[in-house]
Structure 1
Amino acid sequence: MKPFHLIPTAAAAFIALSSPAQADVKTLYLGMNGGPMEKAYTSQILPDFEKANGVKVVIVPGTSSDILAKLLANKAKPQIHVVLLDDGIMSRAISMGVCQKLDDGPELRQLYPFARTKGDMTAGVQLGMTGIAYNTRLFKEKGWAPPTSWADFTDPKYAGKVVFQSASSSTFGLHGFLMLNRLWGGSEKNVEPGFTKWQQSVGKNVVEYIPNSAKISEMVQTGEAGLFPLTPTAAGDLQEKGIPVAYVSPKEGPVLLLVDECVVANNPDPALAQKLAAFLLSASTQTRAAEAGRQIPTNKEAKMTEPMNKQLGNLDELAKKVNVVDWDVINVSRPQWDQRWNRQIER
């Protein structure tokens, strides 16, 4: 079994809490994405739980794939108590037996139905959605109206201005591919329309395929990127940096992109881990997360900020329109799709 390696900040916190003066303080480890999400949780969300329960919560940051790899490497004796993973990776985590069922409670019953997985093995703590973002400065210069449909990616006027994340490495890119595949008559069980029609439609407009969304900021500022799949939260992060980007929800609906929580099976303190999981699902915590990090709630009783309400509209109505993809089917076929995408689309 491979040893569990804490990142320097987490290791420092662990050492500090091991001193005699603080030996009675328990530590919980929470695996999750770093960046703005980690900052919001560390500064404005987790301190309330720590104070109420007399514990210290240390975040172990990483991508969803990295965190799942840590769980699998330490499956017999895990040191992480709770993890937050993107829904596609979480589906794999459940099938690999690294999650235990969430305790029943009022928080679960307050969630939107799509935020609860079968058997309550996991639950969504943050509602994301992949829609369309566009370069507002470029669109103004060209006199283009904002996009309204996934089909806009095929419009010849956007030739050389579409940036698409690779469907083989990015959930945003995969979502975009699957929605266009649906428009062409396909489904998760039949991606032939997408692969057959792509190169003669969307492919003609793509200036570059990128492995993730990190390069979009630069490409918007240089005018290379005009249209691309993105989430409202990611678009908001770019706007906060002064990048001329806006998000729209396509008329066919955006694609559901949940951040799910999992209480790790066989973790060292299952009772406290379940308490942390329930805390993260609560309406008060998710309201705070919306204020601190523009995170869209999965709890129907939570509130969004006014800017979020203005951008997204009524969340109850939006939740009815969101498209849900079948990750069980996707994960079985994904290796073959990835090979075909790399060979046929990004060759």
Structure 2
Amino acid sequence: MINRRTALASTVAAFAVVASGAAMAQSKTLYVGMNGGNFERTFTQGVFPEFEKANDVKIVVVPGTSSDILAKATAAKGKPQMHIMFLDDGVMVRATGAGLCEKLRPGPELEELVPGVRMKDDLAVGVDLGMTGLAYNKKMFDEKGWAAPTSWMDLADPKFKGKVVFQSASASSFGLHGFLMFNRIQGGNESNVEPGFSKFRETIGKNVLEFIPNSAKISEMVQTGEAAIFPLTPTAVANLKDKGIPVEYAQPKEGAVVLMVAQCVIANNSEPDLAQKLAAYVLSADAQSRMMATGSGVPSNTKARTATPEAEAKLKAFHSNMKSAVTLDWDAINAKRPEWNSRWNKMIER
């Protein structure tokens, strides 16, 4: 016969197992692939904590460039290791075309977005709006008495010899944008890049101090006086200025290039409901207001609100510049991108 003490111990043990199981069920983790640096900090400090608290979930960022994240998602397509990924728009077109994303579920957030950010079949949606233009070392320009740049062709001005920093067109959206705008100025388009490849080295290329894989080194190179001018976004410029780095943004007369960071829920991930819930929250006015307040991002949700008059002024200036922004033909780009990457690495960065 089971005595009272044994029965009590069994009950306690059983309760502990149930409680442990419940705790384990609640302790879910979502893995999110996104660009590191300021973008990662914006979301880990300003956006994700509210969702984590409300849903008893841990969000772990897998940092990397858009190309890095796409490669990881492609390698694990059969058994995804991530739940959501944030990619630059051009790279996201490749991801959706490769069947890596699942359709976002209908919700009120989708109806609040600015026009043009919902990608084909709602497989991905723009979260952070931007554009690639020119940025320059304000301290150096002031000391030299140089006027602010006004054209993409200023990158080829002889006075900037050894002072141009250019992101690799094979690895960075900023570098690709700069190259394709140069190509357009030379008479080409996304279906014909021969003018760009034939003339880049003898013009802009002659001025380039270093081709960098991403923009992480720009802060240091501005402070050491190595970098005078480089492709960059208004948001990235604002983040550098917040750190006391003497940079300014300049809108090229030929137009900046639209650069949208989009998110998608990765197809066949292990937490489809929770991943869809996070994707919906990221698009909400609350999350996008937090994104803007924390990291100077530009929201895609029309109901997001700025925290200060200064932020409102920046947003107004951004929308003014967007009126002349150029949208690239990503279908044409992605069809030839591997070939371009090889040519760039052999012809330009050799």
TM-score above 0.5? yes
2:212 to 198, 210, 213: 210
1:59 corresponding residue in structure 2: 61
Percent identity at matched positions? 59
1:184 to 186, 189, 192: 186
CA deviation map 1:40-73 (0-9, x unaligned): 3223212222333343333333333333233223
The verdict on how the C-alpha distance between 1:72 and 1:309 changes in structure 2, with shifts beyond 3 A counting, is same
AA partner of residue 158 (structure 2):
P
AA partner of residue 349 (structure 2):
E
* 2:299 pairs with 1:319: no
**Structure 1 residue 315 displacement after superposition:** 4.1
Look at both structures and tell me which one has the larger radius of gyration over its CA atoms.
2
1:4 corresponding residue in structure 2: none
Distance 1:274 1:341 in 2: 38
Is the deviation greater in 91-100 or in 197-206?
A: 197-206
Q: Given the two structures, how large is their TM-score scaled by the length of structure 2? A: 0.86
The verdict on how the C-alpha distance between 1:69 and 1:119 changes in structure 2, with shifts beyond 3 A counting, is same
Distance 2:238 2:318 in 1: 17
Q: How does 1:1-347 map to 2 (within 5 A)?
A: 20=21, 22-25=23-26, 26-304=28-306, 305-311=308-314, 313-347=316-350
Instruction: For structure 2, list consecutive stretches of 5 or more residues without a partner in the other structure.
Output: 1-18
Distance 1:293 1:173 in 2: 22
CA deviation map 1:186-225 (0-9, x unaligned): 1100111212222332223223322222222222222221
AA partner of residue 51 (structure 2):
F
Q: Given the two structures, how large is their TM-score scaled by the length of structure 1? A: 0.87
Distance 2:46 2:334 in 1: 35
Distance 1:254 1:280 in 2: 26
Distance 2:251 2:305 in 1: 20
1:11 corresponding residue in structure 2: none
**Structure 1 residue 321 displacement after superposition:** 2.4
1:6 corresponding residue in structure 2: none
CA deviation map 1:247-298 (0-9, x unaligned): 1222222111111111111122322221211111112211110101111112
**Structure 1 residue 121 displacement after superposition:** 0.8
Distance 1:27 1:208 in 2: 40
Q: Report the aligned-residue RMSD.
A: 2.2
**Structure 1 residue 82 displacement after superposition:** 1.5
AA partner of residue 268 (structure 2):
N
AA partner of residue 41 (structure 1):
F
Matched-pair contact (CA < 8 Å) for 2:34–2:40 = yes
**Structure 1 residue 102 displacement after superposition:** 1.0
Instruction: For structure 1, list consecutive stretches of 5 or more residues without a partner in the other structure.
Output: 1-17
**Structure 1 residue 236 displacement after superposition:** 2.3
Distance 1:309 1:31 in 2: 29
**Structure 1 residue 228 displacement after superposition:** 0.5
**3-state SS in 1 of match to 2:106:** coil
The verdict on how the C-alpha distance between 1:312 and 1:151 changes in structure 2, with shifts beyond 3 A counting, is farther
**Structure 1 residue 36 displacement after superposition:** 2.5
Distance 2:31 2:164 in 1: 40
Aligned pair count reads 330
The verdict on how the C-alpha distance between 1:309 and 1:69 changes in structure 2, with shifts beyond 3 A counting, is same
The verdict on how the C-alpha distance between 1:19 and 1:307 changes in structure 2, with shifts beyond 3 A counting, is farther
